[in-house]
């Protein structure tokens, strides 16, 4: 405490002298400028070294054929052309988009619905914790659990047997794995976004709802004219968060399908992140770092474009309240 | 120009490092000031607690006692070779790594980053030259020689495969294993008639599924047959009748109702567990199966195996993949690393490898556990050997072409003709993009 005061006194003392010359605004500006380097500098250096330089390096690698070590062969944009022509990449890309849009839509519809229900519910704090809980669990756990639950001799089929179902669906068949992953992601992520949205909804002063009640607004009208406009910025942030994280989804796919250490997931459930990883680190064949980085750069470009578009689409004048 | 390329190279290194996010862990261990002859860094593919790890750890302890050297081991697990890739672009490389040939070759062998192990091969272990301890027939298929013809890998064990069964239940298979494909099918039919499940398979492991096709083809057309088909840029090799015949065999297995129910929709190791518990009779899998399934095998289970059914008139071949050591060219203590490698080839440790870890030691004079005696016998008496995926390592070919399409065949979604047509088309596209 005393040091804080001391420091403030020290910075304050030269101020009156400057005040005389330039006025207060200039002094604060100068102080700010002085603080810019020490505060922003380290973060900027770390960010540049750890993110920007590797990203530029990756862009450079993507122009080569390279096994990760040894000689590099420059091939220009060939890797990009190759990746775009690869049906598997297009399928992986399609899966990434499915996660982004279909899972995203499901998550936000559910999250909004839950927000509305939870707002007036008794014991909402407890419920909020319960639905948030799955988000705390590592995706690996769900991947391993999937085996226990859905294996031919697993929990679901054992429970179905007494009900007379002796020919249950092939839950973990290759074509069913991706829908299962999508369902798992909805179940684990909805609680997270519900929590964030609820924080936004809780900010809305109660007299708006009283107004609604007096005006005889339905629940939908209340959502449309009060809750949505007043939580729009929160929703926009959530949408950006989901966009960024959905494009990076990797581990749940890796452990859900065929893997647990002995193999790689079936191509039906690959995303661009998995495609990139297998291309670079499959362990079964010569690494293709050029193609892998090309696919990674394409993902990066995709995220950037989508985030810019989202920000633009979601842009509204902030409602002050 | 030179600065430009230097910057570019630095960027590449950084990017490579960032691509392999997990790789950062080990690099700093290797102190710059280390003296040649005193300290070693070893990245192992084994994890703490695995039987193989215990044998190697014991050997290292003896080595340290004998030489006074310090070996810093990192038990990294199976991703150690992937982690090696970005490290090779820096000066912080391990002095010695171990891994299977199929993983080491594309990363360190083919790229010219491995040290020729001339000293190690010339050294003597238990009164014999190291080069004599490694049977020539294995070296023939595993191209462990660098551009100058010097070996860069020192193998310490082998992985192989076979069709596994419980010899306590089926002593007949031990004395008279199926001598042909028809014999094999007959055996499956007999099991079926007895109301048993003839075959187990973890259909989610594409590498296990593809063993059926590649082995069937190698049986009829010899070692390297699949590699030749895969390398054909025109795809015409897929039109050969023997290729279709091999695919037909897989189709027969997939559609003949021999496989355990749900093999196409389960998660490894569910089905090998079913097999080890007596829920199915046979399992095509690797020589690691006794180690992997012993914890949950039924009581009195006696592991035994016979080779994939042979074709009469063809030489007797068995799969044999090297697991061994390699030393990066940039290693700081290459001499000591080679010394360690040869030390660990001592009979004592090779015996422990065979009897404690229950895998196949490279030395033919080493003892082996009864569980893998059948594979060992097959290997020792084989005329020749072939590699996993028949040695195909072209970037992405196995994961993106062979496995997905072969899965469709083995999981019963397509017929043999469709498999051949799909493979041919995919391969033509592959080589158009990759040549």
The whole-angstrom distance between A241's CA and the closest CA on chain B is: 22
| Structure-token pair, residue A297 | 């750069």
- Mark yes or no for CB contact A54/B20 under 8 Å: no
* Spatial contact of A66 and A292, defined as CB atoms under 8 Å apart: no
Closest-CA residue in chain B for A295? B19
Give contacts of A 203-232 with B, CB under 8 A: none
CA distance linking residue B225 with residue B183, whole number of Å:
23
* Spatial contact of B323 and B157, defined as CB atoms under 8 Å apart: yes
The whole-angstrom distance between A151's CA and the closest CA on chain B is: 5
| Structure-token pair, residue B298 | 């039924």
**pLDDT given for residue B170 in this prediction:** 96
| Tens of pLDDT, residues A258-286 | 655 567 899 999 999 999 999 988 767 78
Q: Which of A281, A280, A310 is nearest to A295 (CA)?
A: A280
- Mark yes or no for CB contact A285/B205 under 8 Å: no
Q: Which chain B residues are Cβ-neighbours of A253 within 8 angstroms? A: none
Q: Is residue A20's pLDDT more than 70?
A: no
CATH architecture of structural domain B2-158+322-362: 3-Layer(aba) Sandwich (3.40)
The whole-angstrom distance between B128's CA and the closest CA on chain A is: 34
**pLDDT given for residue A31 in this prediction:** 84
Closest-CA residue in chain A for B82? A281
Q: Which chain A residues are Cβ-neighbours of B103 within 8 angstroms? A: 283-284
The whole-angstrom distance between B125's CA and the closest CA on chain A is: 32
| Tens of pLDDT, residues A37-61 | 888 999 999 999 999 999 999 999 9
| Tens of pLDDT, residues A302-313 | 888 988 998 888
What is the count of residue pairs from A and B with beta carbons less than 8 Å apart?
186
| Structure-token pair, residue A123 | 């014991």
CA distance linking residue A19 with residue B284, whole number of Å:
86
- Mark yes or no for CB contact A54/B274 under 8 Å: no
The whole-angstrom distance between B118's CA and the closest CA on chain A is: 21
- If you average pLDDT over every residue of chain A, what do you get? 85
- Mark yes or no for CB contact B398/A152 under 8 Å: no
**Tens-of-pLDDT digits for all 435 residues of chain B?**
344 455 555 545 444 444 443 333 333 334 443 445 689 999 999 999 988 999 999 999 999 999 999 999 999 988 898 889 889 888 889 999 999 998 898 888 888 899 999 999 999 999 999 989 988 888 877 778 888 889 999 999 999 999 999 999 999 999 999 999 999 999 999 999 999 999 999 999 999 999 999 999 999 999 999 999 999 999 999 999 999 999 999 999 999 999 999 999 988 889 999 999 999 999 999 999 998 898 899 999 999 999 999 999 899 999 999 999 999 999 999 999 999 999 999 999 999 999 999 999 999 999 999 999 999 999 999 998 999 999 888 888 999 999 999 999 999 999 999 999 999 999 999 998 887
Give contacts of A 39-58 with B, CB under 8 A: 50, 53-58
- What is the location of CATH 3.40.190.10 in chain B? 2-158+322-362, 161-319+389-434
Helices (H), A48-86: 53-61, 78-85
CA dihedral sign, ordered B405, B411, B413, B416:
positive
Q: Which chain B residues are Cβ-neighbours of A172 within 8 angstroms? A: 204, 265-267
| Structure-token pair, residue B143 | 């191209």
Q: How many other C-beta atoms are found inside a 10 Å radius of the C-beta of residue A162?
A: 7
CA distance linking residue B272 with residue B292, whole number of Å:
9
Q: Is residue A10's pLDDT more than 50?
A: no
Instruction: Kindly state the average pLDDT of the residues A158-179.
Output: 89
Interface check for A286 against chain B (CB to CB < 8 A): the answer is yes
- Residue A26 — pLDDT band, cuts 50, 70, 90? confident
The whole-angstrom distance between A79's CA and the closest CA on chain B is: 9
- Mark yes or no for CB contact B398/A282 under 8 Å: yes
* Spatial contact of A257 and A269, defined as CB atoms under 8 Å apart: yes
| Tens of pLDDT, residues A226-261 | 888 898 889 989 999 999 899 889 988 988 876 555
CATH number, span B161-319+389-434? 3.40.190.10
User: Which of helix, strand or coil describes residue B271?
Assistant: helix
Q: How many other C-beta atoms are found inside a 10 Å radius of the C-beta of residue B213?
A: 24
Question: Which domains does chain A possess?
Answer: 24-61 (no CATH), 78-313 (1.10.3720.10)
- Mark yes or no for CB contact B395/A60 under 8 Å: no
First-to-last alpha carbon distance for chain A, in angstroms, is: 35
**pLDDT given for residue A5 in this prediction:** 41
| Tens of pLDDT, residues A92-132 | 999 999 999 999 999 999 998 888 888 878 888 888 888 88
- Mark yes or no for CB contact A283/B16 under 8 Å: no
């Amino acid at each position: 405490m005393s040091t804080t005061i001391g420091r403030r006194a020290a910075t304050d003392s030269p101020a009156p002298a400057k005040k005389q010359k330039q006025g207060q605004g200039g002094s604060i500006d100068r102080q700010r400028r002085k603080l810019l380097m020490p505060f922003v500098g380290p973060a900027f250096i770390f960010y540049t070294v750890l993110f920007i330089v590797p990203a530029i390096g990756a862009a450079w690698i993507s122009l080569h054929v390279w096994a990760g070590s040894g000689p590099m062969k420059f091939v220009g944009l060939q890797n990009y052309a190759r990746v775009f022509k690869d049906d598997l990449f297009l399928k992986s890309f399609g899966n990434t988009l499915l996660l982004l849009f279909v899972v995203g839509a499901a998550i936000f519809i559910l999250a909004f619905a839950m927000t509305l229900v939870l707002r007036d519910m008794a014991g909402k704090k407890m419920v909020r914790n319960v639905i948030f809980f799955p988000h705390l669990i590592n995706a690996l756990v769900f991947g391993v659990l999937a085996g226990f639950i859905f294996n031919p001799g697993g929990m679901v089929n054992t429970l179905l047997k007494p009900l007379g179902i002796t020919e249950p669906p092939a839950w973990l068949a290759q074509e069913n794995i991706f829908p299962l992953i999508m369902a798992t992601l909805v179940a684990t992520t909805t609680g997270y976004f519900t929590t964030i949205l609820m924080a936004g909804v809780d900010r809305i002063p109660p007299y708006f709802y009283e107004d609604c009640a007096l005006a005889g607004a339905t629940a939908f009208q209340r959502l449309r004219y009060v809750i949505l406009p007043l939580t729009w910025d929160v929703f926009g942030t959530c949408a950006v968060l989901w966009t960024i994280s959905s494009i990076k989804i990797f581990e749940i796919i890796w452990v859900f399908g065929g893997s647990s250490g002995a193999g790689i997931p079936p191509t039906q459930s690959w995303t661009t992140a998995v495609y990139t990883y297998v291309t670079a680190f499959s362990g079964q064949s010569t690494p293709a770092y050029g193609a892998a980085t090309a696919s990674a750069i394409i993902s990066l470009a995709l995220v950037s474009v989508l985030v810019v578009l989202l920000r633009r689409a979601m842009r509204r004048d902030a409602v002050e309240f | 120009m030179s600065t430009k390329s230097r910057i570019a190279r630095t960027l590449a290194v950084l990017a490579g490092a960032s691509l392999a996010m997990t790789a950062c862990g080990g690099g700093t261990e290797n102190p710059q000031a280390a003296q040649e002859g005193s300290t070693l860094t070893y990245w192992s593919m084994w994890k703490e607690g695995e039987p193989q790890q215990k044998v190697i750890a014991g050997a290292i302890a003896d080595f340290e006692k004998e030489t006074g050297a310090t070996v810093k081991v990192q038990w990294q697990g199976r991703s150690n070779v992937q982690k090696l890739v970005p490290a090779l672009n820096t000066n912080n490389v391990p002095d010695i790594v171990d891994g299977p040939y199929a993983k080491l070759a594309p990363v360190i062998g083919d790229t010219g980053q491995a040290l020729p192990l001339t000293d190690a091969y010339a050294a003597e272990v238990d009164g014999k030259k190291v080069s004599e301890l490694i049977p020539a027939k294995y070296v023939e298929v595993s191209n462990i020689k660098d551009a100058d013809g010097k070996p860069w890998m020192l193998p310490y064990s082998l992985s192989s495969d076979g069709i596994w069964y419980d010899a306590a239940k089926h002593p007949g298979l031990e004395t008279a294993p199926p001598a042909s494909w028809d014999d094999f099918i007959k055996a499956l039919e007999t099991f079926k008639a007895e109301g048993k499940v003839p075959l187990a398979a973890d259909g989610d492991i594409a590498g296990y599924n593809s063993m059926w096709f590649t082995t069937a083809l190698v049986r009829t057309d010899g070692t390297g047959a699949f590699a030749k088909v895969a390398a054909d840029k025109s795809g015409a090799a897929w039109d050969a009748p023997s290729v279709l015949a091999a695919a037909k065999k897989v189709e027969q297995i997939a559609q003949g109702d021999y496989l355990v129910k749900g093999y196409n929709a389960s998660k490894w190791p569910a089905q090998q567990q079913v097999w080890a518990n007596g829920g199915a009779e046979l399992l095509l899998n690797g020589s690691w199966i006794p180690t992997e399934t012993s914890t949950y095998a039924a009581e009195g289970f006696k592991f035994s195996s016979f080779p994939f059914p042979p074709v009469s008139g063809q030489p007797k071949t068995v799969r044999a993949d090297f697991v061994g050591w390699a030393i990066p060219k940039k290693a700081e203590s290459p001499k000591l690393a080679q010394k360690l490698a040869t030390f660990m080839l001592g009979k004592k440790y090779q015996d422990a490898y065979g009897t404690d870890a229950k895998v196949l030691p490279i030395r033919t004079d080493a003892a082996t556990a009864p569980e893998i005696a059948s594979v060992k016998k097959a290997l020792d008496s084989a005329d020749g050997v072939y590699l996993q995926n028949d040695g195909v390592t072209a970037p992405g070919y196995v994961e993106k072409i062979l496995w997905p399409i072969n899965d469709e065949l083995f999981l019963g979604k397509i017929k043999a003709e469709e498999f051949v047509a799909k493979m041919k088309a995919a391969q033509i596209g592959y080589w158009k993009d990759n040549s």
